[in-house]
Amino acid sequence: MQDTIISASGVTKKFGDFTAVNDVSFEVQRGEILAFLGPNGAGKTTTIKMLTTLLKPTSGHVSLDGHDPAHEQSAARRTFGIVFQDPSLDDELTAMENMQLHAVLYSVPSDIRKTRIEELLRFVDLWDRKDSLVKEFSGGMKRRLEIARSLLHHPKVLFLDEPTIGLDPQTRNHLWDYVQKLNREEGITVFLTTHYMEEAEKVAGRIAIIDHGKIMTIGSSEELKKQTTTATLEEAFLALTGNAIREEGASSADTMRQHRAMWGRGGRR
Amino acid sequence: MATIYILWLRQLKRYSRSKSRMIGSLGQPLLFLLALGYGFGPIFEKAGQGNYVQFIAPGVIAMSILFTAVFSGIEIIWDRQFGFLKETLVAPVSRTAIMLGRTLGGATVALFQGCIIFVITIIAGFRPETWAAIPMAFVFMALIALLFTALGTAIACVLEDMQGFPIIMNFLVMPLFFLSGALFPLKDLPGPIAIITRLDPLSYGVDGLHGALTGTLQFSYPVDIAVLGIISMVLLAIGSWLFSRIQV
Ligand SMILES: Nc1ncnc2c1ncn2[C@@H]1O[C@H](COP(=O)(O)OP(=O)(O)OP(=O)(O)O)[C@@H](O)[C@H]1O
Ligand SMILES: [Mg+2]
């Protein structure tokens, strides 16, 4: 039985003259785990932003659990949770305060709020540091907190945009086990991006390869390998996207970080 | 309701944790109070206008509120730059609630800052006409705080980064302050200036403060309150609308 929860048809996003996402169409079924793989600047984050009400497509149509994120924003927002690729914590608050703020914004009932916050902070190994200001955290600790925060409410769809950047292997495995458990037990649909082939292969039912704003192919990792007559997913990925290193090294995330570094040193206090 | 409260609380926490901001924003009003209050005092008195410290104190209180309020509003740009803005942008709550929470939080901070300056003006020799009018003064301090936090927030929604900040300070906040009657009486001004001062919403706040604290009212309480209240509402509505249109 087909039960589509995310769909995109003919979606294009232009920034000025530059086409970041070019006539992309795909569907994700309820309860599925889909991975978006693609070189830097391929358009993965831009696609996620269009699905999560942060950007409006230039043309084409997206749908999230029957709602159009571009127009029925509130309805769309109630369906998902997200780990952004870029930082999104309030540095001036403690870990606990960040969690509580999120719990209120997503109206997590107060009886499960406390236990779930503790469970998740323990899960990412931050319970001892719950009252420390986030600005005192290391990069990996911030990332773990963002992950814990995104799991606080249990949405229908979970978007994970390179959730494992900067994480040690232990935490990475831990995270994927948890995500798979949520997917299995609560039927949460997961839309993830990553640059680690083995993660995609392990977790995702289907993998979409995207390059230059276009989806090259979509299928299970077996299908991708068969299609390209290669032995590993990495070889399949390289066969589909070529070996050239992308020039757009400074993606939006990197510029963000440069800004942060700049402001962090000079401007603030 | 819960959303408004938690975002209000967030603003207060951020403020209480940055001592330097607290102290830094006292500097400018103090400078005006001391340099102008005591420097211009003798001239002002010779011109038959009475004690200048007595005149300028309400203006200095208004100034500290104005600056803190606009700055609190503008803080949304930091949120954009540091990424936290995305967390609120995708949250399944109404944009108006987010705006209200932020604005009330920023306004509370500004009001608090105004109270500190109030105390300082009293230490510097300022004496309110009657202590019974203090509640009325608070009403106006709160309204000034609300209006200019809403203004700062609305402006910040259309700015991408802090680079536009000096422009806002020099072409909006400073003129708002200098043309508000904070430094000179609005009575008997030449035509064009009189019109401009009447278009400056801060004039009505300063007028209300003067009325409560020094007993000289240029307009009237109902007019002052109505102007400040209505403009605040309009700015809040515009802010919510601009906020809902932010793309990142
Ligand atoms: N706000 C923006 N303005 C202009 N160009 C943008 C903007 N956001 C993204 N782009 C461009 O769109 C392209 C796709 O960016 P996107 O962030 O979607 O890539 P990505 O697939 O997520 O890459 P990465 O693996 O580096 O995260 C890039 O070339 C990027 O420079
Ligand atoms: Mg990306």
Question: How far is A56 from A21, CA to CA, in rounded Å?
Answer: 12
The angle formed by the CA atoms of residues A111, A151 and A252, to the nearest 5 degrees, is 140
The total number of structural domains that make up chain A: 1
B83 with A269: Cβ contact below 8 A: no
The reported pTM is 0.88
A38 or B20, greater pLDDT: A38
Angle between helices B2-17 and A95-105 (to 10 degrees): 160
Closest ligand 1 atom number to CA of residue A46 = 18
Round to the nearest angstrom and report the end-to-end CA distance of chain A: 58
Instruction: Tell me the CB-side half-sphere exposure of residue B103, using CA atoms within 13 A.
Output: 31
CB B144 within 8 A of CB B58: no
ipTM of the complex: 0.88
Residue range of the domain that includes A15: 4-263
Choosing from A13, A46, A191 the residue with most ligand 1 atoms within 8 A of its CB, the one to mutate for a pocket test is A46
Say yes or no to pLDDT of A266 above 50. Answer: no
pLDDT at residue B247 in the model: 87
Query: At a CB cut-off of 8 Å and minimum separation 6, what does A55 contact?
Result: A13, A46, A49, B247, B248
Q: What average pLDDT does the segment B78-91 reach?
A: 93
CA distance B162 to chain A (A): 10
- pLDDT given at position A1: 57
Query: Contact B183/B44 with Cβ under 8 angstroms?
Result: no
DSSP code of B162? G
Contact A87 B94 (CB under 8 A): no
pLDDT, residue A247, reads 58
- A215, amino acid identity: I
Residue B202 has pLDDT above 70, yes or no: yes
Write the pLDDT tens digit of every residue in B123-149. 888 888 888 889 999 999 999 999 999
Give, for B57, the enclosing helix (H) or strand (E).
helix B52-82
- A269 within some domain: no
Q: Determine whether the interchain pair A53/B3 forms a contact, defined as Cβ–Cβ distance below 8 Å.
A: no
Query: Per the CB < 8 Å rule, is B89 touching A53?
Result: yes
pLDDT reported for residue B14: 92
Q: Within a domain: residue A268?
A: no
- Phi and psi at residue B234, in whole multiples of 5°? -60, -45
- Pairing label, strands A33-37, A18-29: unpaired
Would residue A122 count as lying in a domain?
A: yes
Q: Using a 6 Å cutoff on CB, does residue A44 contact ligand 1? A: yes
Average the pLDDT over A185-190 and give the result: 94
For chain B, domain boundaries? 2-244
Considering the domain boundaries, does residue A77 fall inside one?
A: yes
CA distance B69 to B153: 9
Mean pLDDT (whole number) for B224-248: 94
Query: What share of chain A has pLDDT > 70, as a percent?
Result: 90
**Cβ(A190)–Cβ(A146) below 8 Å:** no
CATH code, domain carrying A199: 3.40.50.300
What is the helix (H) or strand (E) element at residue B124, kind and residue range? none
What percent of chain B has a predicted confidence (pLDDT) above 90?
Answer: 59
B248 vs A contacts (CB less than 8 Å): 49, 54-55
Q: What is the DSSP string of chain A?
A: ---EEEEEEEEEEEETTEEEEEEEEEEEETT-EEEEE--TTSSHHHHHHHHTTSS--SEEEEEETTB-TTT-HHHHHTTEEEE-SS--S-TTSBHHHHHHHHHHHTT--HHHHHHHHHHHHHHTT-GGGTTSBGGGS-HHHHHHHHHHHHTSS--SEEEEESTTTT--HHHHHHHHHHHHHHHHHH--EEEEE-S-HHHHHHH-SEEEEEETTEEEEEE-HHHHHHHHT-SSHHHHHHHHH-SPPPS--S-HHHHHHHHHHHHHHTT--
The whole-number average pLDDT for the span A201-205 is: 93
Domain membership of residue A189 (yes or no) is: yes
